[in-house]
Amino acid sequence: MATSQPAANTSLRSSRRNFRRILHPDMTPMVGLGFLLVTFFLLAADFKKPTVLDLMMPVSRTHCDPPIDRSSSATTLVLGKSDKVLYYNGMLRNGSTPDVQVMDFSSTSLRHLLLKLKQEHPNYIVLIKPSDKAKYRNIVDALDEMNITGQTQYALVDMQQGDYDLLKRNGL
């Protein structure tokens, strides 16, 4: 590691006090350790890839495109408080009261529903409406379920007054 060499004694007297050793530390292990640290941090940064969920926003319609009525092939998920999901088939119409079901984010409820809908209606769309009391985690969970079940058509949609009334009626 370090070598010591006796210094040449230039004085005429040779005493033990004047006899000093000069230390020359060997820096080779420190250089090796530095390279190991640099390699470790480069590899650690390379292995940690960010996980990103692709989100495609819809293309804005032009004035020439006719509006498409997809209310019969739509399922609406309203995200409420306490990690609950309120869902109904179709879309809200003025004065209509849909058949509403309440479920949670477990794999036996929401995932089962999405897989069943995908088998029955291959070209349906899922509308996800997060309420003000829903957590951000609920939105991410809903988008994850869309990814897991292989849904190709889903959209994040703003809440309407009728959705707030449904939430209030069901205690969410």
Domain boundaries, the chain: 2-47, 71-169
Range with the largest mean pLDDT of 8-12, 56-60, 71-75, 104-108? 104-108
Asked if residue 130 has pLDDT above 80, the reply is: yes
Rounded CA-CA distance 43/126 in Å is 41
Tell me the mean pLDDT in the region 83-111. Answer: 80
Average pLDDT across the chain, whole number: 78
| Cα dihedral 78→79→81→83 (10° resolution) | 130
Which pTM does this prediction carry?
Answer: 0.59
Confidence class for position 34, pLDDT limits 50, 70, 90: very high
The residues facing 138 across adjacent strands are none
Tell which wins on pLDDT, 158 or 48: 158
The pLDDT confidence band at residue 37, using thresholds 50, 70 and 90, is very high
Judge contact between 90 and 109, C-beta under 8 A. Answer: no
Token couple for 3: 């070598």
CATH topology of domain 71-169: Nucleotidyltransferase; domain 5 (3.30.420)
What pLDDT sits at residue 35? Answer: 93
- Checking if the pLDDT of 79 tops 70, the result is yes
